[in-house]
Amino acid sequence: MIQASPTRYDNLAMKLKLDRIISIATLIASLVAIVLVLKKPAPVAPPQPPRAIAEHAQSFEHKMEQFDQETQQSAASSPSPAQSSQPQTQPGAATAPKAEVHINSDEISAVLAQTLGTAGASGLTPDSNVGSGSPSIKDQQVSFDGDLVHGQFLTEIAGKDVWITISGHIGEKDGYATFDPTEFKVGDLNVPVSLVNPELQKKLSEERDRLKLPDNVGSVKVENGQLVMQQK
């Protein structure tokens, strides 16, 4: 028996089925993306109770005050320009090490919580605003891992609470702090850093004054799971 070749109606039906499959697949992919965006990611750091926040913030202030004192003492004991130009009588004498301060992630998170107003259990309201034109930050978490800093921030996008996670390297250039991202996530959805970094660097450039380091700080970096600032 000779079988008839597919008619144009059969081809049309197959095309419609294929289009429907593609449409369904696209819809599923979109739903998955929405779910991932709204899904809370794994926390980068455990939450701190209000008492711990107060203690860690006080520890941060104490360390910074001690660092300021050490840099002032170092500056007072350093030789004047005229003395520096004279030949040293003891060429092998070692110079005094520069003052350093080591800040852990709990102390940074505590200071951020107090600065952003999230130290209380209820946090900020959706109508709260941090600075002119800044998005509402309702919660935050920060951690250090090796030479990386990880930050998570709960904000509102299109009326929905969404967690933004960003990781990267902190550095210094010409007296200003720098940040080079290595990872960016919206909810549980990974976003290519190449798509985010140009706009991020543009925003950091616009906010450059806020990134100026104190006059007594010469370098800043994350090392061995701590934020390290060294005397200039």
Instruction: Transcribe 20-70 into DSSP letters.
Output: HHHHHHHHHHHHHHHHHHHSPPPPSS----HHHHHHHHHHHHHHHHHHHHH
15 falls within a domain: no
200 falls within a domain: yes
- In the DSSP assignment, the letter for residue 159 is T
- pLDDT of 9: 59
Rounded to whole angstroms, the Cα distance separating 72 from 66 reads 10
Domain count, the chain: 1
Q: What is the pTM of this model?
A: 0.72
Q: Give the confidence band of 129 by pLDDT, cuts at 50, 70, 90.
A: very low
137 falls within a domain: yes
pLDDT in tens, 88-115: 555 544 566 788 999 999 999 999 888 7
- pLDDT of 127: 42
Range of the domain at 190: 50-75+98-231
Q: Give the confidence band of 86 by pLDDT, cuts at 50, 70, 90.
A: low
- pLDDT of 96: 65
| Spatial contact of 169 and 222, defined as CB atoms under 8 Å apart | yes
pLDDT in tens, 3-51: 545 565 566 566 667 666 666 666 666 676 667 777 788 888 888 899 9
16 falls within a domain: no
52-70 mean pLDDT = 93
136 falls within a domain: yes
Rounded to whole angstroms, the Cα distance separating 199 from 196 reads 6
182 falls within a domain: yes
Do the strands 176-186 and 160-173 form a parallel or antiparallel pair, or are they unpaired?
antiparallel
68-72 mean pLDDT = 89
Q: Give the confidence band of 148 by pLDDT, cuts at 50, 70, 90.
A: very high
26 falls within a domain: no
Closest to 170 (Cα-Cα) out of 179, 161, 182, 162? 179
123-139 mean pLDDT = 52
**Is the predicted pLDDT of residue 182 greater than 50, yes or no?**
yes
118 falls within a domain: yes
